[in-house]
Amino acid sequence: MRPTKTELRYEAIAAAAMAVLIFFAYKIVGFLGIGILGMVTMFVAFQANLSKSNTSATYGILARPPHIMDHAERAARRAEAESLSHPILMGILLGACLAVIGFGAMLLL
């Protein structure tokens, strides 16, 4: 499935914001800042992954329990959770890479 133009814009904005955060973390604290930024990114992504199954409650909508839902509601909830899986995985991978680069460079240099 190809991403829409809106999704591409959001990804470009997120990439630019992350690049700015990495730059300032390096300028202020050095490689330790990059490692901490990676850990924070992974923490946020893991929290999003844990609450992925209850996504409608995140937006303040009180969803019915799954055993009361009809087939269409369950399918919509599954589709919503599935649509979040790729951005969450990218956040986990980005955070892991930043943590390895930051803490690894701090120990090696």
pLDDT given at position 1 = 66
pLDDT given at position 79 = 82
22 Cβ contact partners less than 8 Å away, ≥ 6 residues apart: 34, 37, 98
pTM value is: 0.79
pLDDT given at position 64 = 63
Residues of the chain with confidence (pLDDT) below 50: none
